[in-house]
Amino acid sequence: MTAKDNGGKQVSLALTYKKAISDITNNGVVLNICCKLAETMAVPYSRVTDAYGGYCGNPSPSLPASAPAPAAAANATANKTRLLAANATNATAKVQTEWVLNLFVQPDPFAE
């Protein structure tokens, strides 16, 4: 995954959790996951980053100030304001049960 024979491409990982975790509001937790992944792979911390460029001990430089509102919550609010909104529409709103973190492993510039 980090050797030169991978063409010098970064490798992306998608980790799926059943517990609510946001790469924006829980960025410290995400960076701790980056730390553990880097330690397990025995690579420098800076080579395992989150989706916003942060890594172990260094906050994400392009991290948004707040997470976007979930689409299901926005739809439920909009449906409540309609006079003729059907209850079936509100019942079909999906409840999020999985959260995906996108992490990246940078290639080793010194691999032979």
Phi-psi category of residue 29: left, alpha or beta, with phi > 0 → left and psi -120 to 50 → alpha: alpha
At residue 4, the pLDDT reads: 60
At residue 76, the pLDDT reads: 55
How far is residue 42's CA from residue 36's CA, in Å, rounded to a whole number?
Answer: 10
At residue 85, the pLDDT reads: 53
- Quick check: 84 pLDDT over 60? no
Per-residue model confidence as pLDDT tens digits over 30-82: 999 999 999 999 999 999 999 999 999 998 888 888 777 766 555 555 555 55
Percent of the chain with pLDDT over 70: 71
Contact 79, 72 (CB under 8 A): no
Element holding 78 (H helix, E strand): helix 71-81
Q: What angle do CA 9, 4, 47 make, to 5 degrees?
A: 60
At residue 108, the pLDDT reads: 79
